[in-house]
Amino acid sequence: MQAATAARRSVVAALDELDEEPADEEPELYFGSVDEFVRGYLLPNYRRRVDGQRVLWAAEWWKYAEAVARLDALWRAWEHFRQDAQTGMSVWFRDHAEHHMSILLSPEGPFASAGEGKNRENTNEKGEPLPYIAPPEGLFPDVREAV
């Protein structure tokens, strides 16, 4: 009888400890917006020569709905995979970045009408970051502040 009572107390104590532990919370976002992700991660780390003919990109990428959707998907996938210290970034590059960026940079992709742009603002030199012009203020608010 005493053993059963002690066992019940032990189980109750263990359950009480579980109740005190915080629930699994979503990890805080590293970047607060797709624009911050593009500026802070993609541009410095995904350098490709953009000639405005065979390889396309628009400095004003935010004017192209498909590009915004794909870049937003890249950002959110990056936020997820950065939590995996072993293979997360490899998976992100293989399954997400390479897929979406090959479409974005393609002559048939969403930037097909961008070409070289006025004064060649949609081109770069080998080794330089992708062209970038900041979006209008408030277009991509920091979602971390909304929480």
Distance of alpha carbon 33 from alpha carbon 29, whole angstroms? 9
Distance of alpha carbon 93 from alpha carbon 84, whole angstroms? 13
Among residues 26, 1, 10, 138, which one has the least CA distance to residue 79? 26
**pLDDT of the residue at 11:** 56
Q: Which helix (H) or strand (E) holds 77?
A: helix 65-81
**pLDDT of the residue at 16:** 64
**pLDDT of the residue at 71:** 98
Q: Tell me the pLDDT of the chain (147 aa) as tens digits.
A: 666 566 566 655 655 665 555 556 778 999 999 999 999 999 999 999 999 999 999 999 999 999 999 999 999 999 999 999 999 999 999 999 999 999 999 999 999 999 999 999 999 999 999 999 999 999 999 999 876
**pLDDT of the residue at 8:** 62
Does pTM surpass 0.85?
no
**pLDDT of the residue at 111:** 98
Contact 83, 91 (CB under 8 A): no
**pLDDT of the residue at 7:** 57
Task: Parse the chain into domains and list their residue ranges.
Answer: 29-120
